[in-house]
Amino acid sequence: MNHSNSDFPMVLLSHRGPVTFQHSESGWTAVRATGGLVNALTAYLAEYLPEAIWVCNAMTDADIAVARMYNGSPLRVALTPTPHLVEFGADATGNERNPRLNLRMVEVGKAEHRDFYSVVANPLLWFIQHGLYEFTLEPEFTEREHNAFERGYVAVNNLFADAVAEQLGAFEGRAFAMLHDYHFYLVGELVRQRYPQIILSHFIHIPWPSPDSWRMLPPSWRDRLITGLLGNDVIAFHTKRFARNFLLCAEEFLDLPTDTDSMTVQFNNRIIKVRHFPISVDIVNLEKVANSPTVAQHVRVLTERFLAQGRQLVLRVDRTDPSKNIVRGFHAFAKLLADHPDLVGRVTFLAILQPSRQDVPEYRDYLAMITATVTEINSKYRLPDYQPIQLYVQNDFALLMAAYQVFDVLIANSLADGMNLVAKEGALLNARNGVLALSETMGVHEELGQFAVSLHPLDVQQQADALHKAITMSPALRRSYSQAAAAAVRRNDIRKWLADQLGDLAALAGQG
């Protein structure tokens, strides 16, 4: 028996949801969340899975107030003209074509959420999975961290598992559940305990490193996280390498039988599939925004400022996260100018950076190091009418959409990156036959590396040489790289990413 998607509605879980609420004079205002993943999921669900329930964290005080008002029931949000709450009943008889989403916002106590988010998930799991600890002194697992794990991570996972299970119950258990990311590694097993026959998948959006990195988590955490994930039917990553690393962990830490040909692992008499589905971008929406008048105005300004008289533009777009490797990128650009003085005055590096996690000391230090590095390099290579590096520390979506159109080289040299959607957005929107320069350790390199110049994240000299190669590439080769990269993105947009996964789940349900 094969099930179409509509037979199996979906319960989706992610930490951030598609909208947050704010208090306003007239009551509540809903605001669309930013971020590629959330936007893409929003568009897809509204279009294809209108009955889906999206379980997410109540982020703001207003979210909590709204969540309490609905008292554990889902609420419905219409997305146009601006997001607003609607009644389920009214909607059914009203404008059914108005795109809408069903949300279940979960309230988490402030102390629990701090332990969950600011002690366990974001510093510890994020740093371990991106390889950002040097280990000599940090981290230490003390009573504080162990308590945060139990009272924060485990407790919050239980809370969200309850909410997911409750929503599955509303569908009499005949729904897929799709769980997302490193916040909820324990949810799969907890839901499985309540619904042994449910089809469950978990997508991990950040790198899954090899067992040696996971060995740096206490066994009491590590083995529970992996066991939690094994509650799912499908565990999915962006790349084959991350999927293989997961199998190695299951084998090494839990002594489970794994098969790297079929990419499966056996656990509790179930066969779990370990898959890779490289995520992509929402092409339709990106192109629509990129063609707006606001963006066109930005394009004119950027062109005039950075591309006059045959000048070229190197672009980077990132959060100021140490994993993004921004400082080494500037060092590479400085070495490019040192090795090729003829490029001084002819190539500008525009870095559009968004401050990230400034409550974490390592992140504050990193942003300070970025600005110091830029100042030093600009002092050395500045000319009367030329500043080598332009640092825009701001978050302006229209500016980004414009910058993507006008780069000659887009550099993304992350130390580690689950995918890196900047590279895909840039490849899609660029209009100058711009070349991608991509770190070989990012997920996106598996798909687009063959149409890009490859970077080694630590090798500053190699990065400088690669930038030179990209800047001096023949127009024919540039065009061929640029078009091939854009075509690769078009072949696998976000709708295909989700449809492939749902097809995989439907096939599993059919086997059941």
Q: Which residues lie near a second copy (CB under 8 A)? A: 131-137, 139-143, 145-146, 209-213, 215-220, 241, 245, 248, 252, 322, 327-328, 331, 335, 362, 366, 369, 415, 440-441, 456-462
Q: Which residue's CB is nearer to a second copy, number 120 or number 509?
A: 120
Least distance from a second copy to the Cβ atom of residue 270, Å = 25
CA distance 462 to 439: 11
Q: Which is nearer to a second copy, 54 or 349 (CB)?
A: 349
Cα distance between residue 351 and residue 495, in whole Å: 30
Give the C-alpha separation, 418 to 442, whole Å.
Answer: 6
Nearer to a second copy, 64 or 148 (CB): 148
Name which of 33 and 248 has its Cβ closer to a second copy: 248
Distance (Å, whole) CA 445 – CA 463: 15
Q: Bridge-partner residues for 270, per DSSP?
A: 267
CB of 129 to a second copy, least distance (A): 11
* Secondary structure letter of residue 342 according to DSSP: G
Tell me how far, at minimum, the Cβ of 245 lies from a second copy, in Å: 7
Least separation in angstroms between CB 241 and a second copy: 8
- C-beta closer to a second copy: residue 106 or 274: 274
Instruction: Please say which residue, 94 or 361, places its beta carbon nearer to a second copy.
Output: 361
**Which residue, 124 or 229, has its beta carbon nearer to a second copy?**
124
**SS3 letters across 448-485:** HHHHCEEECCCCHHHHHHHHHHHHCCCHHHHHHHHHHH
Phi then psi for residue 257, to 5 deg, are -75, 125
The distance of closest approach from Cβ of residue 474 to a second copy in the complex, given in angstroms and rounded to an integer, is 25
Residue 348 C-beta-side C-alpha neighbours within 13 Å: 25
How many whole angstroms separate alpha carbon 311 and alpha carbon 383? Answer: 14
* Contact of 285 with 79, CB cutoff 8 Å: no
- Residues 6+ away with beta carbon under 8 Å from 26: none
- The answer to whether 124 and 201 are in contact (CB under 8 A) is no
Measured CA to CA, the distance from residue 381 to residue 269 in angstroms comes to 64
Q: How many CA atoms lie within 13 A of 110 on its CB side?
A: 2
State the Cα–Cα distance between residues 478 and 431, nearest whole angstrom: 12
Minimum distance of a second copy from residue 303's CB (angstroms): 34
Q: Least distance (Å) from a second copy to the CB of residue 137?
A: 6
Closest contact distance (angstroms) between CB of 260 and a second copy is: 10
Please give the sequence-ordered ranges of beta strands (E in DSSP) within 90-226, or none if there are none. Answer: 100-106, 176-180, 199-203
Question: Which is nearer to a second copy, 239 or 492 (by Cβ)?
Answer: 239
46-to-94, 100, 347 alpha-carbon distances in Å: 16, 5, 43
Q: Which is nearer to a second copy, 99 or 131 (CB)?
A: 131
3-state secondary structure of 50: coil
Query: Cβ 395 to a second copy, closest distance in Å?
Result: 22
- Exposure of 307 by Cβ count < 10 A (0-12 exposed, 13-18 middle, 19+ buried)? middle
Minimum CB separation of residue 216 from a second copy in Å reads 6
Query: Which CB sits closer to a second copy, 107 or 459?
Result: 459
Nearest C-alpha neighbor of 416 from the set 444, 454, 450: 444
